[in-house]
Amino acid sequence: MAAVAALSAAVLVLSGCGGGSQAASSGSATSGEVNLIAYSGVWQDQYTAAVIEPFRAKYPDIKINYASKRSSAEMLSALQGQKNNPATDVAIMDNSVSTTGNKQGLFEKIDADGVPNLANVAEKFRDKEGYGPVAMLDAVGLVYDTATFPEAPESWKVLWDPAYAGKINVNAPPSLLGLSLTAITSKMEGEDYTKSIDSAVTRLKEMAPGVQTFAPNPDEYQNVITGQTVLGLGQNARGQFYSDQSNKKMGVTFPKEGTVYQINTVNLVKDAPHSAAAKKFIDYALSAEAQTAFAKALFYAPSVTNAELPAEVKERVVPTDGSLNIVPLDVEFLSSARDKWTDTWKRQIITK
C-alpha cells in the first residue's frame, strides 16, 4: 500500500509539472500577469493609483501591463488586429464599442463562478448575454469657463449662441461626445435618432461655423481652462476633476434638455493568454473597495450595489437612480450607426 501511495503521488507530481502550454500561458489566479488595455491620460493616472496599485499590493505575484489608448475606438482597432493571436487579457472601454466587440467575437462571457463580485453588480448593469458588465458610469456634460459664465448655462442651445462663436470646442465623431451631441440634438428637434438624424444634422450645421475646433488640443478641458475656448463638450467625471485642479476655473453641468450616459464595461478577451489572473483582476475591479476608491479619485459612479460613497463624492458623481434627465442611447443601434454618423459629420457638418 505504501508503494502504491508513493507511485500515485509521483504520478500527481509529474501531471502537475507537465500541464502543457495552455496551463503555462494561463497561469494561476494569484500569479502571472494581466495585459490590460484602457484609457490614457488622467484616467490612467487615477485608475492606476486607485485600483491597480492596491491590486498589486493584494496580489504581488500578478504583474499588470497597461496599454493606454485615447479612445475606445482605438482599443477596438487594436483588439481586432490581435483577434487570431490575442495579446490582451482585459479591456475597459465604452459599452457602445464593447457591444461591437461582443458581436465580433472578441470577448468571452463571464459568470459569478469565475468572477464572484459580478453578483454585486446591479442587475441593470449586467450584460443580458453574459459578456463584460458595467464597471463604472459617467455622463456627457457641458464644460464652461466660470469667469464667462458665473452661473452654469442651463441649455445646450448656448452652443448656438453667436455671442460665443469661435470660442467653442466640439469633439466630432467617432468620439462618443460627438455621437452623444447628435442624439441630444435629435431629441431637441423632436426627432427619433434611430430613424433619422436629418433635423439634427441641419441644426448642427448651423452651429458649426461658431466652433473653433472639432478636435480639441490638448483636450476639451484644458482648452477651457487656458481660455482658448469658453464652452465645450466633456464628461462629468473628468470635468469635476479638472474643476478642482484649476481652482474652479472650469465648471461642468448637465443642461435641462438631458444628457447621455457614458458607460464603461470591463471585458475578458476571448482566448486571453492569462485568463485566470485576468478574472482575478476583473473581480477586484468590481469590488466595493476598488469602485469606491475610483469614485473618490475621478468621480465615476460605481456599478456595484455594495459601494458606499462619502456624501461629498456622491453629490458629484453622475446619479444612477433615475433623477437625471437621460436621453436613452441605444448601444446596439449606435454600434451599427457609428461609421455612418461619423461620415455624415465629416461631409456635412465639419466645415474647416
Q: Note the pTM of the prediction, 2 decimals.
A: 0.87
pLDDT of residue 351: 75
Tell me how far CA of residue 129 lies from CA of 120, 275, 278, in angstroms: 17, 19, 20
Joined grid coordinates for residue 177? 461626445
Q: Say what the pLDDT of residue 352 is.
A: 65
pLDDT of residue 293: 98
Q: Give the 3-state secondary structure of residue 39.
A: strand
What tens-digit pLDDT sequence spans the chain (352 residues)? 344 344 343 333 333 333 333 333 444 577 899 999 999 999 999 999 999 999 999 999 999 999 999 899 899 999 999 999 999 999 999 998 999 999 999 999 999 999 999 999 999 999 999 999 999 999 999 999 999 999 999 999 999 999 999 999 999 998 889 999 999 999 999 999 999 999 999 999 999 999 999 999 999 999 999 999 999 999 999 999 999 999 999 999 999 999 999 999 999 999 999 999 999 999 999 999 999 999 999 999 999 999 999 999 999 999 998 899 999 989 889 888 999 999 999 999 997 6
What's the rounded Cα separation, in Å, for the pair 54 and 267? 20
User: Cβ atoms within 10 A of the Cβ of 113, count?
Assistant: 8
Determine how β-strand 168-169 pairs with β-strand 211-213: parallel
Q: What is the pLDDT of residues 219-267, one digit of tens each?
A: 999 999 999 999 999 999 999 999 999 999 999 999 999 999 999 999 9
